[in-house]
Structure 1
Amino acid sequence: MGSRNGRRQRRKRRRDNSENVDRTVNLCHDSRYVELRKWLKERSFNNKYLIPAHFSNTGRGLMTTKAISTGGLVVSLPESCLMTSHTVLSSYLGEYIKRWKPCVSPVLALCAFLISERHLGPGSRWKPYIDVLPKTYTCPVYFSDDVISLLPGDLRNKALDQRGTVLELFSSSLPFFRSLQPLFKRPVEEIFTHDALRWAWCSVNTRTVYMEHLQSQFLSRERDVYALAPYLDLLNHSASVQVDAGFSQATRCYEIRSRQGCRKFQQAFICYGPHDNQKLLLEYGFVAPGNPHSVVYVDPSDLQICLSGAVQQFAQKLLFLKQYGFLTNLTFGLDGASWRLMTALRLLSLKLDQYSCWKGVLLGAAVSQDREERSVHLARVLCQHLWDENTKALQRLSVLKQEGGASMREQLAVVECLRLEAQGILGHSQEALKNLKEDALPSDVSPPTEDCV
């Protein structure tokens, strides 16, 4: 009897433990990855311990079937596997690019090649790689107006700029695309569409690795530092991981080495950089939950909405802050308002007769106890405003999720993750500001004088 109970308990523990572990699905037998690995092997890539897998928390990625030691090689991709501007110039597009004036940029050359290779389908030498590229992206350039309206102010403006950048690139590139007509049976207007360029641009923007190339006389003077890296680009991002990455002149391979190592049968990660979630969403189309670099940004418009009626000489002070570069990178984090934000709020809290001290405050001069308390109050008001705005955005998002199609729901899921992360940060900030000690300055500190300028 006891033995049966013991077995039952062990089974229950194993079941409970399995439910707490992220589920991993091996993708090695997926035909797309079978063909990709076969194609890579023909180009001298023989890595056998990194296998494609689907992870419940990150989606598609690479799992290592052996432990990687500290400083060990994660992946080494031969130069023959990389898609670069040299690849494009050596291809059937090369002669058209070389004679086109003004010279096209390295990015446009890669985009044109990707679009062309996708159109060629089975006739493409890069088909196994094209087949595993995402068919669409969750970068803001793909977002509908409704979804863009749910982004925080500054990110919303950047998303609109990103959309404008791609549209301008498409419009300016039409004459070049038309020059490629002799290569295709179908009209190029049906191949090199705005949607096709958007897909190719996102592929380059989100998936290229940094690799410096000699400047070609046939390309524009923009820096040529892009390389698409098949298979390697399946590695997902983690802020807690440190790697050394770069092209080795000795081995003629793009190599990534782990500074921390990786355990057997775990997902292998790389780090795209110390980016906050707004940057990750804008540039890569995803949000990292629990990102230690994430903050909530305060826009000048937030200051205008919240504080203009409660701050003396508000317009003049705002102009002064802008003049000295104090209207950017104003943030709330897990530990409350940033130093830059509190400094700006200290200046906004000054009285009419303290104009001579404005510059000194920006340089770090102390303010009186009552002005310090006033600046903390302004921070609380601002934080509450952002909390309310965030809550309203999540409510609107919930309605759109019910009304939108699959593509919109995918976009909304990313924005929802961003907003939920922001809500958590603002909650911590509210608590930090609420518990802020009033002994930040001695009670006998007097207001700064002209000496602080």
Structure 2
Amino acid sequence: MCLHKLTNAYLLSWAVSTVMTRQNFIPSDDNETKVAALIPLWDLCNHTNGMISTDFNPELSRSECLALTDFKKGEQLFIFYGPRTNAEFFIHNGFIPSGNVYDSYPIKLGISKCDPLKEKRILLLRKLGLENTQEFKLRIGENPIDGKLLAFLRIFNMSQDQLDHWVESNRSGDLEFIECALDVSLEKKSWCFLQTRLKLMLATYQTTLEEDKKLLEENKSSSNTVLAVKMRASEKEIIWNTLNWLEQHVQQ
């Protein structure tokens, strides 16, 4: 492909991304559907942590954005872009926010086709509204594992007798709670399985978290490189946070 075509393809991708990440949905004139609209003023506002403070006023037929805090004359006006992960900010907005409580890291898990207990595992997963192959999210913060992932890990590691018990039980939803009374060996097996999986994921990176932090502290790279390293580091921080959480439960 010639340089001219590459340049045009890049510009088209940039244009599409720019419009798609700035579209806002407002009621149509007949209020039957919603239509996409651009609100140029919003493009002048940077992001800050907070909550959605925008709504549509049907009486005045306009979108209204309320201030997140009291702003003084001459101060920069910030808005909350929404509950996005760092990856979404990175791809669609070109920056990584600090202290993003909505950040998460995707992890895909599935039941092997060669698993002799595959059918029973899938049956129990279906009772909980889970698929036999599904993507979960490791969350930032004190509780990185949600109930759906917790249940999947337990079902993935159950013996035949344990599967039979929970398939027949009318309380299978309890598997989504950390307080669920289960065999200690099953719990540790579930935690150790996820530990191993996360350590393998860390091994796919060419640098460690410590090396990424050092690169950021040195501040000798280009702005694009710094942004990429921040993204990489934020992923590793979630993985390490989850590993530390798992370590505490394995030792119990």
Report sequence identity in percent: 19
- Secondary structure of residue in 2 paired with 1:329: strand
**1:333 matched to which residue of 2?**
140
- Matched residue, 1:258: 67
Matched residue, 1:436: 249
Q: TM-score of the superposition, structure 1-length normalised?
A: 0.41
Q: Name 1:292's counterpart in structure 2.
A: 101
SS at match of 1:299: strand
After TM superposition, the structure 1 = structure 2 runs for residues 324-363 of structure 1, keeping only pairs within 5 Å, are 324-326=129-131, 327-335=134-142, 336-359=144-167, 360=169, 362-363=172-173
Give the match for residue 72 of structure 1: none
Question: 1:387 — aligned with what?
Answer: 202
Secondary structure in 2 matching 1:267: coil
User: Map of 1:176-255 to 2, 5 A cutoff?
Assistant: 194-214=9-29, 224-238=34-48, 240-251=49-60, 253-255=62-64
What is the SS of the residue equivalent to 2:37?
strand
Structure 2: gaps of 5 or more residues: 176-180, 213-221
- Bigger CA radius of gyration: 1
Counterpart in 1 of 2:182? 367
For these two proteins, the number of residue pairs brought into alignment is 222
Q: Is the Cα–Cα contact under 8 Å of residues 243 and 258 in structure 1 kept in the other structure?
A: no
**Which stretch of the first structure deviates more once superposed, 416-425 or 242-251?**
242-251
Secondary structure at the counterpart of residue 227 of structure 1: strand
Could you tell which deviates more after superposition, 243-252 or 428-437?
Answer: 243-252
Partner residue, 2:238:
425
CA shift at 1:197, angstroms?
Answer: 4.0
Indicate conservation of the 8 Å contact 2:104/2:140, yes or no: yes
Structure 2: which amino acid aligns with 1:417? K
The one-letter code matched in structure 2 to 1:242 is M
The one-letter code matched in structure 2 to 1:357 is H
Q: CA deviation at 1:248?
A: 3.6
Q: C-alpha distance in 1, partners of 2:163/2:52?
A: 49
Structure 1: state its 5+ residue gaps: 1-189, 216-220, 399-408, 440-453
Amino acid in the other structure paired with 1:271:
F
Q: CA deviation at 1:204?
A: 1.7
User: How far apart are 1:235 and its partner, in Å?
Assistant: 1.0
Determine the C-alpha separation between the residues in 1 that align with 2:10 and 2:45: 26
> Deviation of residue 195 (structure 1)?
4.7
Answer 1 or 2: which has greater helix percent. 1
User: Could you tell me whether the CA contact under 8 Å between 2:125 and 2:152 is conserved in 1?
Assistant: no
Letter in 2 for 1:227: A
CA distance change for structure 1 residues 263 and 199 in 2, over 3 Å: closer, same or farther? same
Q: Which has the higher contact order (CA 8 A, sep 6+)?
A: 1
What SS does the corresponding residue of 1:225 show, helix, strand or coil? Answer: strand
Structure 1 range deviating more: 343-352 or 193-202: 193-202
Q: 1:313 to 1:234 in 2, by over 3 A?
A: farther
Distance in 2 separating the partners of 1:288 and 1:321: 39
Distance 1:243 1:354, change over 3 A: closer
Distance 1:241 1:262, change over 3 A: farther
Amino acid at match of 1:381: T
Instruction: Tell me how far 1:388 sits from its aligned partner.
Output: 2.1
